[in-house]
Amino acid sequence: MSSKKILALLSDDASSACSVDFAFRLLNDNEGLVVATFIPEHTEDADHRKETISTLANRYENRSARLVFRPGFGMSMEEALIEAQFADIVILVPELLEKLITPNSAEAAITSPIVLVPGPTENVQRVLITHDGSRESVPRIKQFCQILSDTCQKAEVTLVEFNHNSDQFNLQEEKLLIEYLRGHCADLGVFKVGEESPERILELIDFKKDTILVSGTLDILGKSLHHIPSLTNQLIYGEKSPGFFV
């Protein structure tokens, strides 16, 4: 992955520092900029934020990528959405997802891929891409492959197609998508299921720790968590590993 700008959103929970840790893992000692900011719940947690800033600043002091906190002690989600318009990737913990996907979210602010990190993780070893047969999801999947090209080359990548060969996405387009992914992924496997069945998919694919979920099917803008497809929802709240939404 070449030089990129990553926005890491932190909550007042100490575990949210894993967003910054994951950002530096994605950069993998390449040059880049990690902008971290708190989305505070309570103003009285300023001491905790100061301690977190000091800890992370010391941890990543001598890295190729630069870490900055903006502004010092946090911003509102509305301000963070403006910042997100000028980032390549946005990383956050699950507890901030509800705040992010409100009906008032600016459409331009949701153009960056969003990484959901539920906890500390090691290097990404597997990538699970879900595709619902819609043309709209293809650019998002391509964006993931382009931004995280190093990850696609090194990880084991699996494409899961449900509702495949639909009226909207024909067989030729399906073949072209697979051809595109083979050009970006050194190790690619393909599974096809007639409809989205979390139980069946999880039977076929061993969704282990250190796996990124790429869901080109998730339209974040203006949606509530209840509208997230069942597979994606199960993987988010089943305490699995990072989910990457594009």
Report domain extents, the chain: 4-116, 126-245
pLDDT over 60 at 105, yes or no: no
Give me the pLDDT at residue 107, please: 47
Predicted structure pTM score? 0.74
Q: Give the CATH fold of the 126-245 domain.
A: Rossmann fold (3.40.50)
Residues 6+ apart with CB under 8 A from 7: 35, 36, 37, 80, 83, 84, 87, 89, 90, 91, 112
pLDDT over 90 at 95, yes or no: no
pLDDT over 90 at 238, yes or no: no
Give me the pLDDT at residue 29, please: 77
Same fold, 4-116 and 126-245: yes
pLDDT, the chain, mean: 76
Give me the pLDDT at residue 177, please: 92
| CATH classification (class only), 4-116 | alpha beta
Give me the pLDDT at residue 227, please: 40
Kindly report which listed range (34-48, 64-78, 148-162) carries the lowest average pLDDT score.
34-48
pLDDT over 70 at 52, yes or no: yes
